[in-house]
């Protein structure tokens, strides 16, 4: 029995396990190949704790709801409600509080539903592990695995902890969730030489959360729980949160500060003017505060929330599930997208792209495992001779294969090794199926792929009772075993010039980022020994090469080009080999040369200052770890960029959390990655991300023009009310009328403006700068001009009516003219540059319907006794209503004619140039 004195006490040596021989690893861990004794395992479980990762606590519904009320704008509205209560304006206070609470419920409902929808995407599992204990093999819960346990691994298993291989037979693992490696990684038990071997190249170590693709192995556990590589990523995740406001939150916070100071300045100004005119202080105070409250756009928080929620719905229709509401607009502000390669920019399925036989190369069409696509030569259909050559090379690659292709729910899937699945798919494109091969030439013996031999051999019984060894494997290794070559169906000796041409072709295909396999065969004598692979794998006939890759998605290249036109920098970050990553990036238009590719090891040699100086020149990062990805995101943010990060593996989670907006993949994404994200891309497609950026930009545009519409209305009301105070006139609007304008007249059209369709040129503009204010010079100028126009129309109407009618009727005239002006102006608010007749009335039918209904209601107010009394609108002749409507058209007409004039001047300017 192993004593407790030999228990591993330090996790600090975990990084060096790969340089030790298997017996040294066992000795240092105080265990043996037969495993721990059960009593020792119990003691180690008490010492090291359970083999579990730390999970983030779920945000409670109450906390999610309270979080909706943290903005400065909401605080201002709450203060306005309190002041209204103090002034006895209970209707005003109730309406404002209702808006605040409604806004909170809308935001809560959206984020809570997103969390529930995300939960439905998760696959619940009860992980277990097969371990050797006391010389026996037993199945135990994965949480009870301890350092020193010996895991038994076979195809389909999830690895339960980080472990060092001590036995391996044709063993391969899928490490995509951890390293981003797109194809299975061959593993072996031998020690490695370099202490600083990158994680993706530690071929004698397996990791928690990865899976077994093929073969069998035994591995001794060296780290569990938070001491594993996944655990280290979880620690990074805990420190990755930036804590910054989103760009929209920053802008609205800044706007809130402006509104606070403007309100205070207004109170001070009115108070000073009133004192100078001898107005009683109490009356003056109440009037001043009422005006300050009127300055706040009560409907703004609800408008912003509705615009974002509508953006969420539109994104959901485009297969993007938003978890956090403000991510909608933040994605629209993005100017750098750091994208994972495998499954996002690429289809995530190995595909044969090229076949080569001596002196002839063929292109293979299609993507993924679906057997759809043509095999051509130089873009033309195959001749009879070409087809025979293709059948010879694919006959070997399909015959020397142990995978299967199956169509499940209209999707083609590989059962077995993805590389072999890609070869089967290429065979089907040439009408060569594995079932037909098996029927025509039954399998006699198979020698599976081995990481030492780097090849696989299948012996088949051919027609006439002859036997043939079909071999595929690493091209450099296989070429050394060949002494003849198949040229146009004739077997001839392999000359040195042939070797040179084949080697050059191998290099050329590898430079294109293709993973290259060679195919060879050997006719066997009747008395040939079949039991030993090495006896079969000699004196081979070289047949040809196959080049495969995880190809770009069909939509990805166009999406990258669209992102570039929109001023967005796309950066690829992957765990793949630099050559493969660079080739895919060049095909997609992300990079133009090898100089734009940086490996993780090169990044380690740069300090932060040196890296910041080079970041603009690098478009592709390969062989990177989770820490590298987070460092890249932070470097871009340090330059003022708004960064989106995409990914699916656990190694992507820290960078996704640290980015301004994190995007997780819905199909292949891990639970940890989805929890760290702001948005889940349900179809794992980069084109969906670009479409979501477009929607985010459209949402921001709608929020901005809605905000301008609301603030221009408030400015008009303030100009009107302040003018009356300055000139000693009776107040032209009563508090209840101000509230009606802000919430009903302005609020309903504003909600419709928030649903405006996205403008066609939204992806032709440069991204907004992070520090850019939502209220820039043109915004403020347009707001002031519009406010002065509407105030001028209402004030002129009020002054005219004061001399001819009682003050109540004059107020009703001013109120009605202002309402009509505000309602009609909503049509012009849809565009800052295009006049209303170019934008059209039918492209936003909701707005047209709301304005029509509101105008009808305003026409009816003087004739509706109860509502008219509440709003202080006395009965007036129909002719007054028609005349006031005509007056209300004036601001819209002036503003739209000015737009048309500016547009015409700009057109003439362009012609002149």
Any idea which residues carry the catalytic annotation? 340
| Cβ pair 354, 514 in contact under 8 A | yes
Short-list 664, 589, 654, CA closest to 619:
589
Q: Can you give the length of the chain in residues? A: 913
Question: Residue 444's closest CA among 432, 427, 465, 461?
Answer: 461
What is the spatial distance between Cα 37 and Cα 135, in angstroms, rounded to a whole number? Answer: 8
Beta bridge partners, 784, equal none
Is residue 690 within 8 A of residue 359, CB to CB? The reply is no
Contact 550, 349 (CB under 8 A): yes
CA nearest 756: which of 701, 712, 820, 834? 701
Contact 576, 340 (CB under 8 A): no
β-pair type (569-573, 490-493): unpaired
Residue 558 neighbours by CB under 8 Å, 6+ apart? 687
**Pure H helices in 457-539:** 475-480, 496-511, 533-536
Whether 659 and 636 have beta carbons less than 8 Å apart is answered as no
DSSP string, 556-599: HHHHHHHHHHTTPEEEEE-SS-HHHHHHHHHHHTS-SSGGGEEE
Q: Which residues does 686 contact at the CB level (< 8 Å), separation at least 6?
A: 339, 344, 345, 553, 555, 556, 559, 560, 646
The DSSP secondary structure of 520-558, one letter per residue, reads: EEEEE-TT---S-HHHHSSSEEEEEEEEEE-PBPTTHHH
- Largest Cα separation within the chain, whole Å, is 123
Taking the C-alpha atoms of residue 149 and residue 159, their distance in angstroms, rounded to an integer, is 13
Inter-helix orientation angle 878-912/777-802, to 10°: 150
Alpha carbon separation from 800 to 584, 809, 813, 862 (Å, rounded): 73, 11, 10, 19
Distance separating alpha carbons of residues 397 and 893, to the nearest angstrom: 74
**Phi–psi pair at 492, nearest 5 degrees:** -130, 160
How far apart (Å, rounded) are the C-alpha atoms in residues 228 and 651?
12
The rounded distance, in Å, linking the Cα atoms of 397 and 355 is: 11
Cβ-contact 465, 456 below 8 angstroms = no
Query: Distance between the two ends of the chain, CA-based, in angstroms?
Result: 91
Measuring CA to CA, which residue among 472, 485, 482 is closest to residue 446?
472
* CA 248/CA 37 separation, integer angstroms: 59
Rounded distance, CA 340 to CA 238, Å? 21
Are residues 902 and 838 in contact, defined by beta-carbon separation less than 8 angstroms?
Answer: no
Q: What sign results for the dihedral spanned by CA atoms 83, 85, 91, 97?
A: positive
Cβ atoms within 10 Å, residue 21 = 14
Q: How many helices (H) and strands (E) does the chain have?
A: 33, 27
Angle at 398 between CA 392 and CA 399, to 5 degrees: 85
Helix axes 281-294, 247-276, angle to 10 degrees: 160
Q: Which H helix or E strand runs over 643?
A: strand 643-647
């Amino acid at each position: 029995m192993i004593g407790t004195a030999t228990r591993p006490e330090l996790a600090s040596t975990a990084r060096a396990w790969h340089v030790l021989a298997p017996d040294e690893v066992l000795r240092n861990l105080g265990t043996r190949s037969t495993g721990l004794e059960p009593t020792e395992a119990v003691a180690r479980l008490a010492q090291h704790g359970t083999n579990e990762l730390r999970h983030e606590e779920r945000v409670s519904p109450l906390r999610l709801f309270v979080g909706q009320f943290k903005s400065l704008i909401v605080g201002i509205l709450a203060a306005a409600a309190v002041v209204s209560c103090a002034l006895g304006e209970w209707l005003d206070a109730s309406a404002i509080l209702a808006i605040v609470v409604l806004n909170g419920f809308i935001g809560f409902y959206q984020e809570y539903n997103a969390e529930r929808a995300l939960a439905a995407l998760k696959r619940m599992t009860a992980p277990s592990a097969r371990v050797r204990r006391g010389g026996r093999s037993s199945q135990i819960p994965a949480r009870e695995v301890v350092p020193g346990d010996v895991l038994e691994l076979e195809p389909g298993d999830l690895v339960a902890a980080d472990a060092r291989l001590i036995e391996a037979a044709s063993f391969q693992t899928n490490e995509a969730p951890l390293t981003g490696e797109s194809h299975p990684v061959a593993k072996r038990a031998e020690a490695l030489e370099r202490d600083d071997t990158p994680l993706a190249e530690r071929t004698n170590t397996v990791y928690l959360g990865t899976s077994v693709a093929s073969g069998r192995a035994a591995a001794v556990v060296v780290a569990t729980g938070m001491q594993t590589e996944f655990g280290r990523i979880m620690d990074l995740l805990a420190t990755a949160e930036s804590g910054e406001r989103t760009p929209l939150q920053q802008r609205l916070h800044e706007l809130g500060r402006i509104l606070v100071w403007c309100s205070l300045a207004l109170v001070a100004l009115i108070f000073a003017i009133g004192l100078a005119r001898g107005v009683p202080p109490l009356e003056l105070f109440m009037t001043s505060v009422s005006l300050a409250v009127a300055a706040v756009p009560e409907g703004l928080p609800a408008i912003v929330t509705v615009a974002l929620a509508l953006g969420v719905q539109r994104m959901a229709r485009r297969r993007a599930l938003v978890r956090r509401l403000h991510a909608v607009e933040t994605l629209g502000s993005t100017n750098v997208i750091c994208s994972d390669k495998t499954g996002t920019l690429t289809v995530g399925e190995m595909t044969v792209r090229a076949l080569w036989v001596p002196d002839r190369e063929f292109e293979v069409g299609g993507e993924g495992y679906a057997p759809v696509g043509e095999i051509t030569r130089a873009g033309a259909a195959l001749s009879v001779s070409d087809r025979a050559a293709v059948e010879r090379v694919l006959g070997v690659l399909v015959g020397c294969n142990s995978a299967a292709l199956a169509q499940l729910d209209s999707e083609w899937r590989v059962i077995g090794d993805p590389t072999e699945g890609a070869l089967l798919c290429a065979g089907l494109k040439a009408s060569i199926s594995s079932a037909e091969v098996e029927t025509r030439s039954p399998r006699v013996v198979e020698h599976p792929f081995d990481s030492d031999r780097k090849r696989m051999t299948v012996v088949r019984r051919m027609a006439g009772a002859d036997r043939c060894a079909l071999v595929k494997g690493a091209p450099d290794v296989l070429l050394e075993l060949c002494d003849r070559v198949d040229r146009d169906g004739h077997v001839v000796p392999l000359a040195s010039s042939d070797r040179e041409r084949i080697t050059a072709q191998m290099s050329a295909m590898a430079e294109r980022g293709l993973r290259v396999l060679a195919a060879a065969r050997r006719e066997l004598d009747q008395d040939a020994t079949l039991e030993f692979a090495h006896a079969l794998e000699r004196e081979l006939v070289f047949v040809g090469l196959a080049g495969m890759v995880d190809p770009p998605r069909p939509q990805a290249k166009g999406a990258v080009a669209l992102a570039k036109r929109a001023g967005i920098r796309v950066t690829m970050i992957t765990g793949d080999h630099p050559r493969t990553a660079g080739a895919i990036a060049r095909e997609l238009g992300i990079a133009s040369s090898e100089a734009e590719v940086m490996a993780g090891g090169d990044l380690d040699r740069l300090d932060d200052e040196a890296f910041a100086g080079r970041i603009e020149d690098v478009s592709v990062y390969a062989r990177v770890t989770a820490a590298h990805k987070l460092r890249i995101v932070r470097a871009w943010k340090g330059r003022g960029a708004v960064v989106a990060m995409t990914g699916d593996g656990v190694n992507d989670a820290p960078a996704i959390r640290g980015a301004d907006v994190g995007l997780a993949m819905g199909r292949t994404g891990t639970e940890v990655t989805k929890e760290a994200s702001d948005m889940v891309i349900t179809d794992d497609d980069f084109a969906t991300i670009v479409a979501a950026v477009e929607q985010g930009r459209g949402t921001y545009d709608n929020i901005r023009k809605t905000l301008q519409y609301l603030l221009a209305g408030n400015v008009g009301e303030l100009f009107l009310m302040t003018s009356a105070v300055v000139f000693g006139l009776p107040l032209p609007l009563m508090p209840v009328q101000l509230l009606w304008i802000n919430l009903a007249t302005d609020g309903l059209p504003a909600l419709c403006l928030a649903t405006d369709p996205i403008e066609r040129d939204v992806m032709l503009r440069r991204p907004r700068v992070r520090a850019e204010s939502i209220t820039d010079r043109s915004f403020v100028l347009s707001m002031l001009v519009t406010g002065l126009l509407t105030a001028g129309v209402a004030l002129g109407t009020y002054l005219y009516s004061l001399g001819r009618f009682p003050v109540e009727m004059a107020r009703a005239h001013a109120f009605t003219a202002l309402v009509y002006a505000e309602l009609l102006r909503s049509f012009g608010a849809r565009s800052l540059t295009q006049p209303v007749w170019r934008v059209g009335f039918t492209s936003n039918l909701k707005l047209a319907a709301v304005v029509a209904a509101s105008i009808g209601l305003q026409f009816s107010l003087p004739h509706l006794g109860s509502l008219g009394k509440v709003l202080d609108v006395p009965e007036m002749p129909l002719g007054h209503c028609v005349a006031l409507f005509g007056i209300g058209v004036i601001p819209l007409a002036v503003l739209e004619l000015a737009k048309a004039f500016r547009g015409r001047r700009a057109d003439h300017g362009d012609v002149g140039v």
